[in-house]
Structure 1
Amino acid sequence: MTMNKDLEADFKAAVERVNSHQEPFPADVLLRLYAYFKIATRDNNGPGSKTPLINAFKANALFQVQEMDTNEAKQNYVNCVNKYFNSL
């Protein structure tokens, strides 16, 4: 199994873990996950919230990670998820 396959599997598992989590995430964690996910999945759609302030926070989060490639974003997403759940 190559590193990319391992990373892809880890990323998918992390996304599933986040999606199945019932409790709300802290805003800073949620914004990081949002930005990493958007870069990792090459989702070019804008923030899309009806609330301008939320859009501003999302846009800022994306701006901070705009230079990452998809693999780096996937690894950061996985690391962020692991760090969050290990701190519970």
Structure 2
Amino acid sequence: MQNDLDIEFEKAFVEISKLEEAVAPDLMLKLYAYYKQANFGNNFSFKNDIDVRDAFKLNAWIQLNGMKSDEAKKEYIKLAETILNHK
């Protein structure tokens, strides 16, 4: 059963996913990292043939090491709202 935070997180993810306009790369990296931390925690994974883009994504995620899932969801929601309110 989903709680209010999970529902809000999922809604923010769907709304961001619907955007047709490009979002600044630094904000996309933050969204990616919060999403991964919220869903996978500190279970960092990467491919052996990592490219530069994947390295940036992995680095952004690793910077959130130790952040609790709920906190990552809250940060994702906050950032998504900021992006959506400026579009």
Scaled by the length of structure 2, the TM-score of the pair is: 0.83
Q: 1:45 to 1:66 in 2, by over 3 A?
A: closer
Residues 7, 75 of structure 1: 8 Å contact kept? yes
Residues 37, 67 of structure 2: 8 Å contact kept? yes
Correspondence for 1:69: 68
Shift in Å, 1:24? 1.7
Residues 16, 84 of structure 2: 8 Å contact kept? no
Identical columns (%): 31
Consecutive unaligned residues of structure 1, counting only runs of 5 or more, are none
> 2:5 & 2:46 partners in 1: Cα distance?
26
Correspondence for 1:57: 56
What's the Cα RMSD here? Answer: 2.0
Shift in Å, 1:51? 6.3
Count matched residues: 84
Scaled by the length of structure 1, the TM-score of the pair is: 0.82
